[in-house]
Chain A
Amino acid sequence: MSTNAPPSFSNATVGKKILMAITGFLIIGFVIVHLVGNLQIFIGQHQLNVYAETLQNMGALKWAFRIALLVFFLVHIWKGIVLWLENRSARPVSYTKETNQESTLASRTMIYTGALIVFFVAYHISHFTLLDCHPEYQSLPLVDGRFDVYSMIILGFSEPLIAALYIIFVGLVAFHISHAFSSLFQTLGLTKPELLKRLRLFGALLAWLIFLAYASIPVAVLAKIITLPGGGH
């Protein structure tokens, strides 16, 4: 038997992966709930603004949710970087010729898509939540006494560059999830060979669904399918 005590759960090789899997699962859950919220833009201005106001009025619950989400992200990022550094150092001399038999491009680029997602999330929060980089949104007229999220989104996505960056952003998120989904079940030991095949397929489908659904909003704005209530902008 080895004389040293095994590392603690959060430092053990499988422990770190389990933390990645659980936080990743919760973040995927958030991505889906967030999407359901966003898609209400297709119902109309009133629906979206009421929904946004409901979320904003949740008070302590809203903050509990935000802090929890921040913790999930921080743990996921922290353990992800630790795993990546360890994995890099595990092969100091690389192969002259390397082949890929089973691994997907998404699986091999998780650290890069993950890093890009962090930057996009920072911009996204600044853009639509804090309104730092677009202070003009704060002067949007209230509609029925509510902040006009509907018009803010249409104004934002009317700029093709912002819409394009957003589509790239949700594309990266979807690509990351395409590997993450089945991977988290494998890490949590919830798979069997046949089930793993189906989970991998479902992960790819889920990723496409998330990408198309999120991207549909900027596309609909640019295609003028959803427009400002006043007609133009």
Chain B
Amino acid sequence: MNLTLHVWRQKNANDKGKMETYQAKDISDHMSFLEMLDVVNEQLADKDIDPIAFDHDCREGICGMCSLVVNGTPHGPERGTTVCQLHMRHFKDGDTIYIEPWRARAFPVQRDLIVDRSAFDRIMAAGGFVSVNTGGTPDANALPIPKKDADTAMDAAACIGCGACVAACKNASAMLFVSAKVSQFAYLPQGQAERKARVSNMLAQMQKEGFGNCTNFYECEAACPKEISVKFIAKMNREFMRAKVLKD
């Protein structure tokens, strides 16, 4: 199939950047979206045009590196799918596709479609961890966890930190990401010691990084490749209130 691509091109973080139009020729519908871009980059190289820079790593939908807004939707039109797992069979010959980077003040564009997501790392460093003294491996059944809590914590921990929630949010808020990270610990006994400080500090760091506030659009849940539920945002709001009410 042949496609018309409108792609965001930006030389570096200081460049203003603009949308450029390219023709993608002879694209197989078996290709993934990123493979399609690989082919386009080869075609661009033949014409002495700089290849389109985009983030990618595992191409298996688990690493959270790929980050393209396809036709206005982070990771493209398929629900619960990273853009590396999006296949070209979901497009038709002659389609026009807009490809843009995640848009947020806290995610500055580095080049073309690559954004700097180290703001997420700083949010994690503010409280997204459990401090334990290492020692011998504990006995497997020494710490009983109800199945329901373990499952819920696992649902939250499915977050791969790609930032699609921020890209989808009209306010560029990172609430779904932060809530998933806060919740995965809040449901587990290991997370209890730092429970109050964690929610306050991670939210404070989110705010400091310049992410927006949640206004309950629920676009994040729709865009999340791991289908993280906005129930975790409600959970985090409860955690925040709990931390405020229960003073040390």
Contacts and interface: CB of A to CB of B under 8 A. Distances in A.
Interface in B45-96: 69, 71-73
Given A1-B197, A1-B201, A90 B173 contact: yes
Contacts of A99: 71-73
A139 interface: no
A78 B208 CA distance: 20
Contacts of A90: 104-106, 171-173, 210-212
B222 interface: yes
19 contacts: A1-B197, A6-B204, A13-B173, A15-B240, A18-B240, A86-B171, A89-B105, A90-B104, A90-B171, A90-B172, A90-B173, A97-B71, A99-B72, A101-B223, A107-B215, A108-B170, A188-B241, A189-B234, A193-B229
Interface string A87-106: 10111111111111111000
Given A87-B171, A98-B72, A189-B234, 15 more contacts: A1-B127, A2-B205, A6-B201, A13-B213, A17-B215, A89-B210, A90-B105, A90-B171, A90-B173, A91-B103, A91-B212, A101-B219, A108-B170, A108-B217, A196-B234
Contacts of A196: 230-231, 234
Interface in A81-127: 83, 86-87, 89-103, 107-108, 110
Interface of A: 1-2, 4-7, 9, 12-18, 83, 86-87, 89-103, 107-108, 110, 179, 182-183, 186-193, 196
B219 A103 contact: yes
Given A6-B203, A18-B241, A87-B212, A186 B106 contact: no
B169 to A, nearest CB: 8
Contacts of A107: 215-217
B25 interface: no
A76 to B, nearest CB: 14
Contacts of A110: 215
Nearest to B69: A95
Interface residues of B, number: 56
Contacts of B117: none
Contacts of A86: 171, 212-213
Interface in B201-248: 201, 203-208, 210-219, 221-223, 229-231, 233-238, 240-241, 244
B6 to A, nearest CB: 7
B216 A97 contact: no
Contacts, number: 150
A186 B71 contact: no
A27 B217 CA distance: 21
Contacts of B6: 96-97
A102 B231 contact: no
Given A18-B241, A99-B72, A186 B230 contact: yes
A17 B241 CA distance: 12
Report the 8 A-B pairs with minimum CB-CB distance, sorted nearest first.
A90-B212, A189-B238, A87-B171, A99-B72, A103-B217, A6-B204, A101-B222, A189-B237
Contact of A2 (B173, B208, B218, B244): B208
B231 A193 contact: yes
A99 B105 CA distance: 19
Contact of A17 (B127, B170, B200, B214): B214
Contact of A97 (B72, B219, B234): B72
A100 B200 CA distance: 30
A93 B115 CA distance: 13
A189 B241 contact: yes
A18 B172 contact: no
Contacts of A96: 6, 8, 19, 98, 100
A179 B215 CA distance: 10
Contacts of B8: 96
Contacts of B217: 102-103, 107-108
B126 interface: yes
B219 A100 contact: yes
Contacts of B244: 9, 15
